[in-house]
Structure 1
Amino acid sequence: MSGPIRVTVHPPSPTGGRRVRVDGEILGLAHNVTDVAEFLRRAGLEIDPAEVAQVPWIDWRGGGPERWGPEM
């Protein structure tokens, strides 16, 4: 990939979980930071689950990495 990688973790869905996108492509519905790390690994981006919350290139929308439940 050329240029900066854009990772977006969308707000929690009404039924729980958060959609994860890398450069516009949906990778799946994550239910925790371990899921996010696994989706990124499958996309060729190795990251430790413990670091997912701290990296600046992940855009957490609708709450940070501690929010996974349905919207209230």
Structure 2
Amino acid sequence: MNDASTAPIVVHRVSPTGGRRVVARGRILGLAHSDHDVVEFLRRAGIEDAGELLDDPWWVQWRGGRAHEYEAA
């Protein structure tokens, strides 16, 4: 059974300088500074409807903070 701990897409905690690393199935896609960036990285990785998946824990695990936040504290 899949859960957030085994989601194929991981959006990591906000870096000290801002932005979040996005990883899909172990492959680093880039440093996102917005949901738009995440969607674009995933689109380039072949996931066309990525915008619809961002809040689906079966697909995306948000680590270290609230989802959709990209600014350093």
Structure 1 residue runs of 5 or longer lacking an equivalent are: none
Unaligned runs of 5+ residues in structure 2 are 1-5
Structure 2 Cα separation of the partners of residues 47 and 64 of structure 1: 22
Aligned to 2:25: 23
Q: CA deviation at 1:47?
A: 2.1
TM-score (structure 1 length as normaliser): 0.80
Once residues 40 and 7 of structure 2 are traced to their aligned partners in structure 1, the CA distance between those partners, rounded to angstroms, is: 16
Structure 1, 55-64 or 27-36: larger mean CA deviation? 55-64
Q: Corresponding residue for 2:54?
A: 53
Runs of 4+ in 1 over 2 A off after TM superposition: none
Identity of aligned residues (%): 51
Partner Cα distance (1:21, 1:48) in 2 = 13
Q: How many residues align?
A: 67
The CA RMSD measured in Å over matched residues stands at 1.8
What does 1:3-42 correspond to in 2, within 5 Å? 6-42=8-44
